[in-house]
Chain A
């Protein structure tokens, strides 16, 4: 039991860390431009190279590129009915959903308010999903590279298009190919056919339609690029998308790989590997924490909904009618169901991956903001569901490629700025003094995330947009709303199901009633939460990097020690707790502590 529970998470963390160390060297080598590409690839690189850019030009190129990506994605989705590879004549998605999806995939979020197998043709899967997955994933990567160069004091931070080419062609493509082959071997479909018709075992006359497509091509970059948008609505719980225990292991590892490596690449390119290892350790510790939390409360604890509540509970509630008055509320005892729960909470799990695979995956996928799922997060035990939410709220436990590390840098800057003064010097990072401008930019970038989660959640919690969309009114319904906006703001893309957000195709006669406001709100959240935290840190790095660099001395705060790790961890946990403790209390905690059945 112990082994079967903990082997998977431990093996995942150990293997990925082990691979990430040497491979990060390769990443740094490529981004430094030391890799001499074969001539036919080098030709493209040359053509793309519009010359070195300063941070403003680099950022402009990045934004223009993303705008083009949005326009392209929008167009592909709009034109779906008239494009090839659409044998069953799928109509276009609802306009609001197209808006939402185009942003979702352009921002590397892959929050899906549609179901890939029902609503998208293979043409859309290939040209919209696959293209976006490769390109949007590289944007954060490029942004981090620019920040590293700015920190090194370089005025010209590289060329965005060349960086993009290097990331996609020299890293994502070969890695995806290797992973894709493994998936093919494990049984993922790879075909241009849209569906297979088979006779069922029960009766040969009953025909079943099984959706297929280029799954093995989409899957690797879905994980490697921490995209997470599934080919099928069921995502990695679907047997074609994630056929076996082995594919599940590779799958989980693939999403961790780049976020792990990028932290180390940061250290290598700055020549500060020890500093990066300290950051890496803090992230690893937090990731282990979220995994242990979700596995402990989900795999090792029964589902409270099935266990019931053996005693009646009485609460005293202040009465609203008279000040000081009390009202007593009694909740009767609830009998448990006769279910063997020694394997923990099995609701919404895929047992072919092992008992702890769902809880482990749930924690990892939010930490690295991938958003692929292999179990139903909605069905996690209430208190276990805190783990994926924390991953999205902190948004720096490795995080998405590049952006996770960038978010971490914001915490580093703030932590050093506040606590670093306690060594008696003007706070400095990488030998440069942190001034008002850097703090301002870091805080702007940090501010966006809580605004984009708490603001819309508050708005939706008090209006029909939210009240009529949740499947379980109560704290669970509240969790669904918080989760949705957290996922959008963290550019994660996983969902706490049960929220009526799917409009479906534009000609759907009975769409979810509040799908349109959700499409628009989540779309805008993704947009703001993606680009402000990329642009502001690039500017911050440029301003900081332009400053004179002071040498490390005995009196300077060292950023490669256990003390620094502690400082960083404390900063993240305290800031995180201060921002999100109230919603954690109103959602999962209220559900966990409350009587049964409560919140559904």
Chain B
């Protein structure tokens, strides 16, 4: 939207609250385990034991098959002749923990889904069936149910009514309560023909009357899509997740290859040890015991990440949703983590988006202070931010506050006059306004516009500032310079983005000179001056040709081509339908700085996945040290020296390992759902940090954990 339009908009509607950019972190918190989510998730965890569901997750499917085979083995041992050197209770314990491993994995997925469902449920409440006043072709109004609305229908919504469906305002202006979807109680302004004409079904009109053209059919609205996404109904696995699933399946295959030959190898050891010890009776070790080998296999295959992978993906979508971002696919969220370049609109994103008086420039016999005083008088009753900023600037220059006589008449801004000011009882008239409007006022009052006004006005405009001319009766007194100022904290945010490895680019309609000044001030890396839809598109294409991924935020219809071209495009919900269609994410808060959060959510998703995969694989080292000596205790007892944890017995070692392997899944559910904390440190430092925590930590932790479980098992006399 153009900057001048914005000035006018605010001046036109004094007293109407402008939409303010929201604070960056406003996340609806949700406890990890609540009654509403946990109980159904537990139920669901058992229901998901169905093999056709497990089949989709190869790692857990192998565990389930192993658990089933162990069950068969137990049944055979119960009814047939026992042929093992260990008691049946060991196998039962083993099998219980194998089943529990699958159940825990299911629980993680079910919990993530349940949390999403709970959120969807709260959204659904605002999607109740409502009345809709449909405008017929002959402009007659028809009262129907909102479910009968089809795209293209026009409906009338007036104050006190709920908007029946997603759409675009085609006439009128209204303040709307969007708290049902955004959680933000302050009303927002939506107006036909502007870049903020989009409305969402389920929101509430507070004032005025609007005509809305419906753009989505029943069951296809934003709310429906949101609900569908979180419920996993249309959840598609992202390319990264597919690649990882593939890698995990291959690792499972590798460990099958490691474990299966162990049987003949252990048998080989049994044979030569019989010869070595000179005994006749058969010698058995756990190495030829099928359930124990299954336990070893389950310990080795990446069950931890295999169990949590789905939950991580769902939780990532859900985190985006909690930040009020609706991603059209999980892929879009992930892609946000890969972004190299971020395009940000100057107005409203980098700067406040409304102008503040920064100086008074005198003309002719006037002094700067005189201009200030006149401007302050003209703005005394002006409630717009610009008006207030003029008074504030005047007072900050060391002047006493101006006072206006009792009977003064305030002249408000109007689109026709494009001026505002004050009429004193004594006939003195003071005006401030757009240069050409004031010039007309002077001429009407019989005055003359000085020749040196033009260069002054042009000079200010060329710097990206807005000049307001101040006139007193028939005389030009001087000029107020209004400038858009930087939002606080933007510099830090850009520094944060730079640390994350992103380049920020400012888009502005200003000329290159002004743009470069503001760019330097704000600390962005680059800018597009005098931006048009064409050169925005061209810039994105140029960056993409260099292999970079570009993110962009937009709201207007003229942003649509650039949004469609960008790899990650975030449209504001308040924006036009075209912008929302072209984008792959929609921000319900219409907060232009939301891109930064989007990028962080994407990165966090990938980091969580990588961290838990690394952790899962690193865990295996300790399990080997527990299980290998146990496997061969019956044949090669001296391998006990490998058992640096000094576990109680072979069976306790194997049980401890399998119990650790199972328990680590629920223990890591919070990490999977909340995500690994992301710190913008730069790739190298981040990698070092995460390698230390999840890699080295993953190697060390199970040594401690397995030993602890062993101590507890023995302490509770659960094992001999």
Interface residues, chain A, CB within 8 Å of chain B? Answer: 313, 315-321, 323-325, 329, 414, 417-427, 431, 433-436, 439-440, 443-444, 446-447, 450-451, 454-455, 457-459, 461-462, 466-467, 473-475, 477-478, 548-551, 553-558, 561, 563, 566-567, 570, 574, 577-579, 581-583, 585-586, 589-590, 593-595, 598
Q: How far is the CA of A417 from the CA of B246 in the complex (A)?
A: 12
**Least CB distance, A464 to chain B, in whole angstroms:** 11
A555 adjacent to B683 (CB under 8 Å): yes
**With A436-B242, A436-B243, A574-B621 as given contacts, are A423 and B282 in contact (CB-CB < 8 Å)?**
no
Q: Which 3 A-B pairs have the closest CB atoms?
A: A555-B501, A421-B610, A458-B261
Interface residues as binary, B675-715 with A (CB distance below 8 Å gives 1, 0 otherwise): 00010001110111011001100010000000000000000
> With a CB–CB cut-off of 8 A, which chain B residues contact A423?
607, 610, 683, 686-687, 690
Shortest Cβ gap from B566 to chain A (Å): 15
Instruction: Please report the C-alpha to C-alpha distance between residue A590 and residue B682 in the assembled complex, in whole angstroms.
Output: 46
CA distance A581 to B250 in the complex (A): 19
Option from B257, B282, B606 in Cβ contact (under 8 Å) with A450: B257
Does B272 count as interface, using CB distance less than 8 angstroms?
yes
Interface pair A582/B611, CB less than 8 Å apart: no
- Tell yes or no: B134 within 8 A of A by CB: no
**Residues of B with Cβ closer than 8 Å to A?**
82, 84-87, 239-240, 242-244, 246-247, 250-251, 253-255, 257-258, 260-269, 271-272, 275-277, 281-284, 300, 334-335, 337-338, 340, 498-503, 546-549, 602-604, 606-607, 609-611, 613-614, 617-618, 620-621, 624, 628-629, 632-639, 641-642, 650, 678, 682-684, 686-688, 690-691, 694-695, 699, 720
Contacting pair A462 B268 (CB below 8 A): yes
B620→A554 contact, CB < 8 A:
no
| Contact between chains at A435 and B268 (CB < 8 Å) | no
Complex contact A578–B253 (CB within 8 A): no
A578 contacts across to B, CB distance below 8 A:
255, 258, 300, 617, 620-621, 624
Say yes or no: B250 contacts A461, CB within 8 Å.
Answer: no
Main secondary structure of the interface of B (DSSP, over half): helix
- A317-B637 contact, Cβ under 8 Å, with A323-B82, A422-B610, A440-B246: yes
Q: A318 and B720: CB pair below 8 A?
A: no
The interface residues of chain A lying within 8 Å CB-to-CB of B695 are 419, 570
Cβ–Cβ < 8 Å partners of B281 in chain A? 320-321
Residue pair A550, B549 in contact (C-beta under 8 Å): yes
| Interface contact B632-A590, CB-CB below 8 Å | yes
Quick one: which of A325, A461, A590 contacts B638, CB cutoff 8 A? A590
A433 to B549 CA separation, bound complex (whole angstroms): 12
Across the two chains, which residue of chain A brings its CB closest to B699?
A: A574
The answer to whether A554 touches B239 (Cβ under 8 A) is no
* Chain B nearest Cβ from A426, distance in angstroms: 5
- The answer to whether B250 touches A555, judged by C-beta atoms less than 8 angstroms apart, is no
Q: Smallest CB–CB gap between B414 and chain A, Å?
A: 51
A434 to B87, CA, bound (A): 48
Q: Within the complex, what minimum Cβ distance (angstroms) separates A393 from chain B?
A: 12
Among B268, B281, B686, the most chain A Cβ lie within 10 Å of the Cβ of B268
- B338 near A426: Cβ-Cβ < 8 Å: yes
Q: How far is the CB of A109 from chain B (nearest CB, A)?
A: 21
User: Which residues from A are CB-within-8-Å of B335?
Assistant: 426
Task: Decide if B340 touches A553 in the complex (CB within 8 Å).
Answer: yes
Task: Choose one: A431, A440, A447, A577; the contact of B547 (CB below 8 Å).
Answer: A431
Within 8 Å CB of A551, what residues of B? 340, 546-548
User: Is the pair A440, B87 in contact by a Cβ cutoff of 8 Å?
Assistant: no
**Given contacts A426-B338, A598-B276, are A574 and B624 in contact (CB under 8 A)?**
no
* A458→B338 contact, CB < 8 A: no
Chain B residues closer than 8 Å to A320, beta-carbon distance: 85, 281-284, 634
Q: Let me know if B268 and A318 touch, CB within 8 A.
A: no
Q: A440-B250, A474-B272, A558-B684 are contacts. A585–B337 as well, Cβ < 8 Å?
A: no
Contacts A427-B610, A555-B500 known; 19 new A-B pairs at CB < 8 A: A423-B690, A436-B239, A436-B243, A439-B247, A450-B257, A555-B683, A557-B687, A563-B691, A570-B691, A570-B695, A574-B618, A574-B699, A582-B628, A585-B628, A586-B265, A589-B639, A590-B638, A593-B636, A593-B641
Tell me whether A323 and B687 are in contact (CB under 8 A): no
Given A550-B548, A585-B628, are A454 and B618 neighbors across the interface (CB < 8 Å)? no
Instruction: Select which of A421, A457, A561 is within 8 A of B613 by beta carbon.
Output: A421
